[in-house]
Structure 1
Amino acid sequence: MVSPGKLEIFRHSLKGIVEEMGVTLQRTAYSTNIKIRRDHTCALFDSELRHIAQHDIAPQHIGSLVSVVPRNMRDRDDLEPGDGILINDPYKGAVHLPDVMLICPLFHDGEIIGYAANSAHHVDIGGPTPGGIPTDSTDLYGEGVIMPGVRAVEDWEYDEEMLGLITRNVRSPEMRVGDYRAQLGANRIGEERFGELYEEYGADALTEYLDELIDYTERLVRSNIQELPDGVYDASDYMDGDGINDEELLVTLTIEIDDDEMTLDFTGTAAENEGPLNCTPAMAFAGTMAVVMSLLGGDLPKNEGFYRPFEIITPKGSMVNPTDDRPVAAGWEIAIRAGDLVTKAMADVLPEETIAATKGIICNIAYGGRDPRSDDDEYVYYETVGGGYGGRATKDGMDGVQAHYQNTANSPIEELETEIPLYVRRYEYIQDSEGAGRQRGGLGIRRDMEFYDHRSSFTVLSDRTKNQPWGLFGGHAARAANYVINPDDDPEVVSSKSTTKLDPNDVASVQTPGGGGYGDPLERPPEDVLEDVVNEKVSVEKAESEYGVAVDLEDRSVDEAATRELREEVDR
C-alpha cells in the first residue's frame, strides 16, 4: 500500500513530465497555432497502454490520445527504440486530419516500459483549402493527407523521404517540418524523464504506484459522481447545415446517473452528413468529458481511472459516429456544442455549478495566398476566434474567450500582421451581443481583416449563425454568429461553412456569438447595467428594453424613478 503523500509526489512527477513535454513542443514549434495559441497536448502511457498522465493545456486532445494510443499500438510487435508512429486517421480513433499524433515507445533494457505521445494541430494538412478545413468535402480523401499509423521516425530521427512525402502535400512545408520536429523533441524529453523515473522507482515499484494511482483516481471520481442526484437528464440543440446541405441538424444528449456511474448517450442525434459536419466518437468523448470534469470539480488526476465510471454511446451512422471515410473536418463544432448540452442537461439539478450556453463554436478560420512582401511566397494561417461565455449563478459570462475544452488563445494582432499580409481594422467586443440576464452572458468578438495588395482565400468552418446561444432560468439568448465580406461597404454575408476568394484590399469580418444570460434580466442590479453601458458593452436602448434600466449617460447615473417604471412595464 502506497502512502497518500508518496502517491501525490509520484502523481506530480508524472504530471511534471508531460508539462515539460508540452513546454518543449510549444517553444520549439514554428507555427503560431502551436507556439502562441498552444493547440497541442502531451501524454504518457504505461507498458500496458494505460493512460497515466496528460498535459492540461488542450483538453480536446484528451479524447484523441486516449482513443488512439491503445487501439493502434496494442498489436504492434515491430517497434524498436527511437521509433515514432504518425497517425491522424479519424477511423483509427483520431479526430480530424489537422490534429496529428506522434507516438513513441519508451524502452529500457530492450523492453517497452511505456509510450510518450503528443497531438498538435497543424496549420495545413493538404486538401483543397488552405488551413486544412475544407467546407464542402464529401469524403475523407478530400480533406488532406491521411496517416494511418506510419513509422516515420527511426532512432529518434525522421525518415526524410517519409517526411518529404507528407510535407510535399501541404502548404508552407518548411513551417510544417518545424512543427513535426517539435513533436519529436517533446517525445524525446518524455523518454528521458520517464526513463529517469523508471530508474528511480524500479519496475516493481513503478507498477505498484501506477496501479494505486489509477485505482485511487477511479475511487475519487466515483465518489464525486455519487454526490450527484441519480436520474436521467437530457438536452438538445440544432447545428447549421453541413456545408453541402442547408438543413438544420439535431444534436441530442441524454445523461443517466446511476450511483457511481454516468452514461452519456447521443441516441437521437441526426444521421451522418454528406458534408464535413461529422465528428468521431473520440471528439464526442472529449467534448462531453471536458465539461463533466469541470462539474465534478477538484484537481482530479487525468488517467485511465478517471474514465472507468463513464460510458459514451455514439450510435453508428449518426453524425457523432459516421461510417468509414465520411468527412469530419468540422467535427469539433459538434463536440463543443455537446459540451454545452452537458451544462444544459444538468442545469436543474446543479443550478449553482452550471452555466448558460457559451459561444458554442470552435470558429475555425483559415487564410491563404501569396505574400506580396516576400516575392509572393505562399502562406497559410489558421486560427480560432473567441466569443462569449455563458452567465453563471454568481458571475457574468467572460467576454471574448474560448469555451470548455478549447483552451487556446486568441491570436494577437501583432502576430497576425507580422505573419501574413493583412491589417486588422477592427478587433473589439460586439456591443449587445450578450444574452441579457441577472448575470449577463459574455460578449462576442468582431475582428475585421483587410488583405492588402493580393488575392487571398478566406475560409470559415464554423456554426451558430441560425440558432442563438440559449439562456438559463429566465436569461435571454445571445446574438448569433455573423461572417461578412466588406462589412462597411456593400456587405456580403457568407455561410458558416464557406470559402471566399478575396480581391486585393477586401475586408473579412468574423463576428462570434455572445454567451447566454443566467436569471431574469430584471433582477440585474441597475448599477451593473450602468457599468456595462458606460463601458459600451450594452447600449442605452438594450438597457431599457431588456434590463428595464434607464441610464443617463451624461451624468453616468441611473434614473431610479424611470427604472422602476420601466421594470414594471417590461415585467408586464
Structure 2
Amino acid sequence: MTDATMEIRMQVMWNRLISVVEEQAMTLLRTAFSTSVREAGDLSAGVFDPMGRMLAQAVTGTPGHVNTMAEAVLHFITEIGRDNMFPGDTYVTNDPWKGTGHLHDITMVSPSFKGDRLVGFFACTAHVVDVGGRGFGADGKSVYEEGIQIPIMKFAERGEVNGTLVTLLRSNVREPNQVVGDFYSLAACNEVGHRRLIDMMDEIGLTSLDDLGAFIFSRTEAAMQERIRALPQGAWDNALDTDGYDEPVRLAARVEIDGLRVNVDFGGSAPVSRWGINVPIIYTKAYASYALKCVVAPDIPNNWASLEAFTISSPENILNAPRPAPVSVRHVIGHLVPDLVLGALAKALPGKVLAEGAAALWNIHMSVRPVAGQAGRRAEILMFNSGGMGARPELDGLSATAFPSGVMTMPIEATEQTGPIIVWRKELRPDSGGDGEFRGGLGQVIEIEPMPGHEFDFSAMFDRVNHPAKGRDGGGAGASGSVALDDGTKLKPKGWQHVPQGRRLVLHLPGGGGYGDPARRSDAARQDDLSKGYVTEGRK
C-alpha cells in the first residue's frame, strides 16, 4: 500500500470515527428525559483510546462538557483500575473536580472491548434537572449543600445495573423519573457508540485503534504547532469585572505564546467566593482552551493533541476553587472566561477578535407548586436562554445566541409542557446590541407567569446586569440585563427568589458589544436595523 493510499485510508477511518460519536450523541438527544438535553443539547459525547486520550468528539455538545470530559476519563481509569474493568461495564460520577465542574452534570464512561481486548472508551455527559440539596442555585455555602455527590463508581458491572445507586438517587432528588431516566439514556448513549465502533472495526479489519490514534494525534499536533508558530510571540494581559453574587468579582488573565504552546494564567483573579459561583480548574481549563482554539485553530478537530497545545495555570482563587467550595452555578463565571481570554488575544491580534458578548447563559430554574389550599402540581423546570453575541470584525453579532456554550434555544412549547407555567413573551430586545461599524447581537425579553393557582421560586443565575459587555475598537457597550416582576419590583441577578400567583417574572437579557467606530456603519445597515425593529427610531 502506497503512502498516499494509506493517508486516504486513515482519513476515511477518522471520518468514520466521527460519525460513530455523532450517532452516540444523537442517541442521547433522542432518549433523554430532561428538556435541557433533548431540546437544548446540553451534552457531550466522545471516543477515547485505551490510555484515555480523546480521539474524537461529537459536534453536538458544549465546550464545558467536551473539554472537561477529555480530562475526566483519565480520573475514571485511575480510580476504577484496568483490572476491575469488564465488558458491559458503565462508570459514573458527578464529582465537580473530576467531572465537569458541578453536581448537576452526570458523566458516564464505558470501556469498549473487542473480544477480551480493551480497544477504547466511550464517554458522555449531560445536565440533569435536579440533584437534591438546595437545588440549582448560587446560595449554597459548600458543595455539601448543593446536592447528592456520586464518587467515581460503577453504574453497571457486566451489564447489571447498580440497583442500590438507583434507589439512592430516587430518594434524594425532586424529579426521580427524569433523573433516573437520564442515567439510563447516558448509558445507552455509550452502548450505541461501542456497538458502532465494533461494527466499524470488523468491517475494516482492525484489531485495535492504535494506528488510527497515532495518525489522528500526529496530524493534529503538526497542524497545531504550525498555527502557534505563526502567532505573535509574547505575553498579553486582560481583566474583566463581573457582577458576582453580592459584590463585583474581578477576573484576570495573562496569555503567553512561546512558539510551541499557549499558556493562560489566571493569577490576579478574585479569591474564592463564599457563594456558589466558584469554578473548579477543570471547567476553567475547558473554556480557556475553547477561547484559544476559536482564534488559533477553529478548523482543526478537537482531540487530545489539539488540547495538549494549551496549558492553563492558576493559584487558588475563584477560577481555581478547591473542594469543598460551592460551585453549583460555576457556568456563570466560567462562561465569562472566553471573553476574558479573547480580550488578551485581541491585543496580540488586533482586528481579529470579536467584541464581548452576554457570555453567561441566562438559565432559570423554577420550582413550581400549588398555592396553599389549592389543587395543582409540582414541577422542577429548567429553561436555557441566551443574550447577544459581540460583533465580529466584519459582521454584526448574532442575536440571542449561546456563545460560548453553544446550547440551543429551548422551545417555549417544550418548556410549558414540563410544568404549570406560561411564557407570555419571548422576543428579541430592541436597542440592546452595542453600536459600532458592526452592531452587537440583541438580547431577549422574556415574561413568565405561574399558571392560575400556582406560584414558583426561581434561581437567578444571571450576569451582565451591572457590568455590560464592552465593545471593541471603538464599538459601544451592549445593553445591561435586568430582572424584575411585572409590577416593577426589582429582583437580584443571583439567588433564589419568589414569584407569587398572578405576577410575571420579566427578564431583559443583555446584548453584545459593538465593533468599530459607529460613524463607519453604513446607511444601508442602519436602515435595515430600523426596518427589522432591531433598533428604534431616535436611538443615539
Q: TM-score, normalised by structure 1?
A: 0.89
Q: Secondary structure at the match of 2:378?
A: strand
Residue 376 (structure 1) shift: 3.4
Deviation per CA, 1:105-127: give whole Å up to 9, x if none. 11233232211110001111111
Which amino acid in structure 2 is aligned with residue 82 of structure 1? G
Q: Would the aligned equivalents of 1:91 and 1:325 in 2 still touch at CA under 8 Å? A: no
* Corresponding residue number in structure 2 for 1:101: 107
Q: Would the aligned equivalents of 1:156 and 1:184 in 2 still touch at CA under 8 Å? A: no
Question: How many Å separate the matches in 2 of 1:221 and 1:297?
Answer: 7
Residue 290 (structure 1) shift: 1.8
* Corresponding residue number in structure 2 for 1:562: none
* Alignment equivalent of 1:126, drawn from 126, 132, 154: 132
Question: How many Å separate the matches in 1 of 2:99 and 2:382?
Answer: 24
Q: Secondary structure at the match of 1:514?
A: coil
Question: How many Å separate the matches in 1 of 2:319 and 2:202?
Answer: 43
Q: Secondary structure at the match of 1:211?
A: helix
Which amino acid in structure 1 is aligned with residue 386 of structure 2? G
Question: How many Å separate the matches in 1 of 2:257 and 2:517?
Answer: 29
* Corresponding residue number in structure 2 for 1:533: 530
Which amino acid in structure 2 is aligned with residue 512 of structure 1? L
Q: Which moved more, 1:86-95 or 1:10-19?
A: 86-95
* Corresponding residue number in structure 1 for 2:252: 252
Question: How many Å separate the matches in 2 of 1:338 and 1:301?
Answer: 22
* Corresponding residue number in structure 2 for 1:492: 489
Residue 247 (structure 1) shift: 2.1
Deviation per CA, 1:71-101: give whole Å up to 9, x if none. 2313513222111111111133431111110
* Corresponding residue number in structure 2 for 1:277: 277
Q: Secondary structure at the match of 1:400?
A: coil
Change in CA separation of 1:157 and 1:446 when aligned onto 2, cut-off 3 Å? farther
Deviation per CA, 1:366-401: give whole Å up to 9, x if none. 1112379x9634311112211111111111111111
Residue 517 (structure 1) shift: 0.4
Which amino acid in structure 2 is aligned with residue 354 of structure 1? V
Question: How many Å separate the matches in 2 of 1:383 and 1:288?
Answer: 25
* Corresponding residue number in structure 1 for 2:64: 60
* Corresponding residue number in structure 1 for 2:77: 73
Q: Please say if 1:156 is aligned against 2:162.
A: no
Question: How many Å separate the matches in 2 of 1:528 and 1:33?
Answer: 35
Residue 201 (structure 1) shift: 5.0
* Corresponding residue number in structure 1 for 2:342: 343
Deviation per CA, 1:454-499: give whole Å up to 9, x if none. 121121112221111000010011111111122xx2x122111121
Q: Please say if 1:463 is aligned against 2:460.
A: no
Q: Would the aligned equivalents of 2:224 and 2:297 in 1 still touch at CA under 8 Å? A: no
Q: Which moved more, 1:470-479 or 1:64-73?
A: 64-73
Q: Would the aligned equivalents of 1:253 and 1:341 in 2 still touch at CA under 8 Å? A: yes
Question: How many Å separate the matches in 2 of 1:241 and 1:353?
Answer: 29
* Alignment equivalent of 1:195, drawn from 192, 195, 198: 198
Q: Secondary structure at the match of 2:267?
A: coil
Structure 2 counterparts to residues 263-342 of structure 1, below 5 A: 263-315=263-315, 317-342=316-341
Q: Secondary structure at the match of 2:346?
A: coil
Which amino acid in structure 2 is aligned with residue 97 of structure 1? L
Deviation per CA, 1:407-452: give whole Å up to 9, x if none. 1112212222222222222211112111110101011111101112
Q: Secondary structure at the match of 2:335?
A: helix
Q: Please say if 1:238 is aligned against 2:238.
A: no
Which of these two proteins has the greater Rg computed from alpha carbons? Answer: 1
* Corresponding residue number in structure 2 for 1:207: 210
* Alignment equivalent of 2:32, drawn from 29, 33, 45: 29
* Corresponding residue number in structure 2 for 1:559: none
Question: How many Å separate the matches in 2 of 1:86 and 1:93?
Answer: 9
Q: Would the aligned equivalents of 1:171 and 1:378 in 2 still touch at CA under 8 Å? A: no
Q: Secondary structure at the match of 1:250?
A: strand
Question: How many Å separate the matches in 2 of 1:280 and 1:56?
Answer: 24
Question: How many Å separate the matches in 2 of 1:202 and 1:49?
Answer: 23
Residue 47 (structure 1) shift: 1.0
Question: How many Å separate the matches in 1 of 2:279 and 2:213?
Answer: 32
Question: How many Å separate the matches in 2 of 1:64 and 1:95?
Answer: 8
Question: How many Å separate the matches in 1 of 2:459 and 2:121?
Answer: 36
Q: Would the aligned equivalents of 2:40 and 2:384 in 1 still touch at CA under 8 Å? A: no
* Corresponding residue number in structure 2 for 1:554: none
Q: Would the aligned equivalents of 1:371 and 1:420 in 2 still touch at CA under 8 Å? A: no
* Corresponding residue number in structure 2 for 1:83: 89
Which amino acid in structure 2 is aligned with residue 37 of structure 1? A
Q: Please say if 1:50 is aligned against 2:53.
A: yes
* Corresponding residue number in structure 2 for 1:424: 423
Which amino acid in structure 2 is aligned with residue 155 of structure 1? R
Q: Would the aligned equivalents of 1:425 and 1:448 in 2 still touch at CA under 8 Å? A: yes
Q: Secondary structure at the match of 2:84?
A: coil
Q: Would the aligned equivalents of 1:49 and 1:74 in 2 still touch at CA under 8 Å? A: no
Question: How many Å separate the matches in 2 of 1:206 and 1:92?
Answer: 26
Deviation per CA, 1:185-212: give whole Å up to 9, x if none. 1111111122223434556663122112
Q: Which moved more, 1:513-522 or 1:157-166?
A: 157-166
Residue 283 (structure 1) shift: 1.0
Residue 354 (structure 1) shift: 0.9
Q: Please say if 1:477 is aligned against 2:474.
A: no
Which amino acid in structure 2 is aligned with residue 385 of structure 1? N
* Corresponding residue number in structure 2 for 1:396: 396
Q: Secondary structure at the match of 2:505?
A: strand
Q: Would the aligned equivalents of 2:288 and 2:312 in 1 still touch at CA under 8 Å? A: no
Q: Which moved more, 1:36-45 or 1:193-202?
A: 193-202
Question: How many Å separate the matches in 2 of 1:254 and 1:164?
Answer: 47
Q: Please say if 1:111 is aligned against 2:117.
A: yes
Q: Secondary structure at the match of 2:212?
A: helix
Q: CA RMSD in A?
A: 1.9
Deviation per CA, 1:139-188: give whole Å up to 9, x if none. 00111111111212123342233112113211221122221111111111
Q: Which moved more, 1:174-183 or 1:473-482?
A: 174-183
* Corresponding residue number in structure 2 for 1:185: 188
Q: Would the aligned equivalents of 1:127 and 1:134 in 2 still touch at CA under 8 Å? A: no
Q: Secondary structure at the match of 1:152?
A: strand
Q: Would the aligned equivalents of 2:329 and 2:461 in 1 still touch at CA under 8 Å? A: yes
Q: Secondary structure at the match of 1:90?
A: coil
Q: Would the aligned equivalents of 1:452 and 1:506 in 2 still touch at CA under 8 Å? A: no
* Corresponding residue number in structure 1 for 2:41: 38
Number of residues paired by the alignment? 531
Q: Please say if 1:378 is aligned against 2:378.
A: yes
* Corresponding residue number in structure 2 for 1:141: 144
Q: Would the aligned equivalents of 1:172 and 1:380 in 2 still touch at CA under 8 Å? A: yes
Change in CA separation of 1:298 and 1:471 when aligned onto 2, cut-off 3 Å? closer
Question: How many Å separate the matches in 1 of 2:251 and 2:329?
Answer: 14
Residue 136 (structure 1) shift: 1.0
Which amino acid in structure 2 is aligned with residue 72 of structure 1? F
Q: Would the aligned equivalents of 2:119 and 2:208 in 1 still touch at CA under 8 Å? A: no
Question: How many Å separate the matches in 2 of 1:203 and 1:3?
Answer: 14
Q: Would the aligned equivalents of 1:360 and 1:403 in 2 still touch at CA under 8 Å? A: yes
List alignment gaps of at least 5 residues for structure 1: 546-572
Residue 515 (structure 1) shift: 0.2
Which amino acid in structure 2 is aligned with residue 511 of structure 1? H
List alignment gaps of at least 5 residues for structure 2: none
Which amino acid in structure 2 is aligned with residue 64 of structure 1? T
* Corresponding residue number in structure 1 for 2:222: 219
Which amino acid in structure 1 is aligned with residue 518 of structure 2? P
Which amino acid in structure 1 is aligned with residue 354 of structure 2? I
